[in-house]
Chains A and B, each alone.
Chain A
Amino acid sequence: MELFTALLLNGLVIGGIYALIVMGFNLLVLVTGVIHYAYAHIVVLSMYIAWLVIQAIGSLALGLFAAFAAAILFIVSTEFLFRPLMRRRAHFSSLIVSVAMAMVITDILSHFINKGQPISLPMVLKTGWADLRTGMISISVANIITLIGAVIMVSVIIILIYNFQQGRAFRAIAQDLKTARLVGIPIKKANTTSFAIAGLLAGVSAVLLIVSLGSAAPNLGNDLALKALAILLFAGTGNLWGGLIASFILGVAESMTFGYLPGQWSNAIAFGMIAVIIMLKPQGLFGTKV
């Protein structure tokens, strides 16, 4: 029973991490129509940049700040690349371009930083003070911060979308692009703003990932990106709440498989589950908004 609870809590934390990435992803798909496969890779790249800063200067705080800034910078600069594709609403092309970008980033990480070895970041918050322990179950402060951070960010985005004018513009564009254009909603500004917000989310994700995971490998980008994309389809493209719930479902499922089956299979099973759902219910479990 203890093992089960430990795995469940672990799964919730993993789910929180996925939820952050899926949020930014969903927002971009909803508003700009761009499927930004390289989103997760940019988060991982930011983690690497933090590592480089820590190696060079030695300050964790500066490293975290560098990760935050780098993520925002990179995401906003990719907006420029996607502009001609956004104009055409070319979904396939944007996916292919972002996959190409993702492979470029993965290649850079595999060859030029730390010779492709996984990096580990100083985990000041991971163990030690203020852990909660009962028997086998232990939650570190970092995990709690990650979970709370994820929930806060998601709530902020949802409040933004329902209460602010820019958020209403987003929803209008997501519902019907042509009509939104007709009533005079500035599409280009909405595109740029949503990229900026996604960049912010990426920055927060990078910081929380550094704090909770404590390490990164070149493959992490692909791993996160595929799972985020799969969660997107699993929950229904563009469905913000659905994406949130589905992230937690996947996190718990993954944690359970990791605990009860030999480790190598957990990824394959997660993907298998998702592939089956995609084929059986292509609108996703909760229905699409796009």
Chain B
Amino acid sequence: MSMVLTIYLQITGIFILMSWALYLPFKSGQFYNGSVYCMAIGAYFSVITVTKFGWPAWIAIPGAVVAAMLFALITAPKLAQVGGFAMVIATIAIIFIVQAIFRNTKYFGGLTGLYGIPMIRGLLPISYCILIIIGIFIYRIEHSRLGKAMDAIRTDKELALSMGINPKNISIFLQVTSGALGGLSGSMYAFTLGFIRPTDFGFTVLLYIWTMLFVGGHQTMWGVVISAPILWALTQFLPSAIAQYTNIIFGIILTIILILRPDGIITKRILSHVVKSYG
């Protein structure tokens, strides 16, 4: 399999994970961008532990996930309390802060980032196995009592409270899970490319996962599975004359979808039609 195709599939997988990380809290009505800075933390953690401390990859990757989860846990209780709009802005601000910290600290490589991460052989099948496992995990959450609780919170928080659902704890759980997925993505990203820069984990990733989630469909988990490969292929395989307009194209696509078809391409209705006709 050619190098280009391998990296394409690998990064598509990473974007699906990141979009799922955005999707989970959004299912309960909260817009949590923490997956982006957890991606940075996971990536830097993996690189530092592998290159400077000599950890083997199979310890570094789970370690990165744990580190990201701990970081998400710091802000989770407060963010769970404030909700909605403040959460969006606070998480965007934290993305900025984390990026600034990594960019200005010599130990983390500064502006040029870190490089020299050894490649793992057979990373592609491993990552897709992980992707499928996580997909099953998310599917099970959606169709469990927790999933119903999330829908309830999104629909009417006060009513959910009166039925004995604890929105704060659920929010904390979802934020930490989102952070864990972010850390995993960051770690895999580091091992795929072999080098990381602080600018990799900022607004570009944010725009990409927003576009993938909202274009694909934010009501179900399958939307991003369709939109991520297509949109990422757009960035990678367009002729170079158009490729420099990538961010602009994504911005325009996102704007058009939000105005004309705000539910995205794969909506709950379409999903239930498909299930009924084939299931």
Contact = CB atoms under 8 A, between A and B. Distances in A.
Nearest to B262: A93
Given A81-B259, A226-B93, A265-B100, A278 B88 contact: no
Nearest to A111: B244
Nearest to B98: A268
B262 A278 contact: no
Contact of A103 (B84, B86, B96, B203): B203
A162 B89 CA distance: 30
A226 B92 contact: yes
A77 to B, nearest CB: 13
Interface in B18-52: 31
A222 B203 contact: yes
A167 interface: no
Interface in A264-284: 264-265, 267-268, 271-272, 274-275, 278-280, 282
Residue of A35, A96, A230 with highest tally of chain B CB at under 10 A = A96
A104 B93 contact: no
B75 A279 contact: yes
Interface residues of B, number: 39
A132 interface: no
Contacts of A280: 78
B90 A278 contact: yes
B104 A271 contact: no
A96 B89 CA distance: 12
B93 A271 contact: yes
A100 B92 CA distance: 14
B259 A268 contact: no
Interface string A168-203: 000000000000000000000000000000000000
Contacts of B214: 96
Interface residues of A, number: 38
Contacts of A84: 259
Contact of A104 (B75, B248, B258): B248
Contacts of A222: 203
Interface in B70-92: 75, 78-79, 81-86, 88-90, 92
Interface in B90-128: 90, 92-94, 96-97, 100-101, 103-104
Contacts of B258: 85, 93, 96-97, 100
Given A278-B82, A279-B82, A104 B97 contact: no
A275 B93 contact: yes
Contacts of A264: 100, 103-104
A124 interface: no
B86 A233 contact: yes
User: Is chain B's interface secondary structure helix, strand, loop, or mixed overall?
Assistant: helix
A91 B92 CA distance: 16
B191 interface: no
A229 interface: yes
Contact of A226 (B75, B96, B247, B259): B96
A268 B262 contact: no
Nearest to A222: B203
Given A103-B203, A226-B96, A278 B254 contact: no
A107 B259 contact: no
Contacts of A103: 203, 207, 247, 250-251
Given A93-B262, A95-B88, A279-B82, A230 B93 contact: yes
Interface string A63-92: 000000000000000000100110000111
B251 A104 contact: yes
Nearest to B31: A92
A267 to B, nearest CB: 6
Contacts of A106: 247
Contacts of A278: 82, 86, 89-90, 93
A106 to B, nearest CB: 8
A101 interface: yes
B129 interface: no
A61 interface: no
A148 interface: no
A229 B251 CA distance: 20
Given A96-B210, A104-B251, A107-B251, A275 B259 contact: no
Contacts of A233: 85-86, 89
Nearest to A35: B85
B96 A267 contact: yes
A107 B82 CA distance: 32
A159 interface: no
A100 B250 contact: yes
B84 to A, nearest CB: 8
Given A92-B85, A226-B96, 6 more contacts: A81-B255, A99-B210, A104-B252, A106-B247, A230-B89, A230-B93
Closest 8 CB pairs of A and B: A104-B251, A282-B82, A268-B100, A100-B251, A279-B78, A107-B247, A100-B254, A275-B93
11 contacts: A85-B258, A91-B84, A96-B258, A97-B259, A99-B210, A103-B250, A268-B96, A274-B93, A275-B90, A278-B86, A282-B82
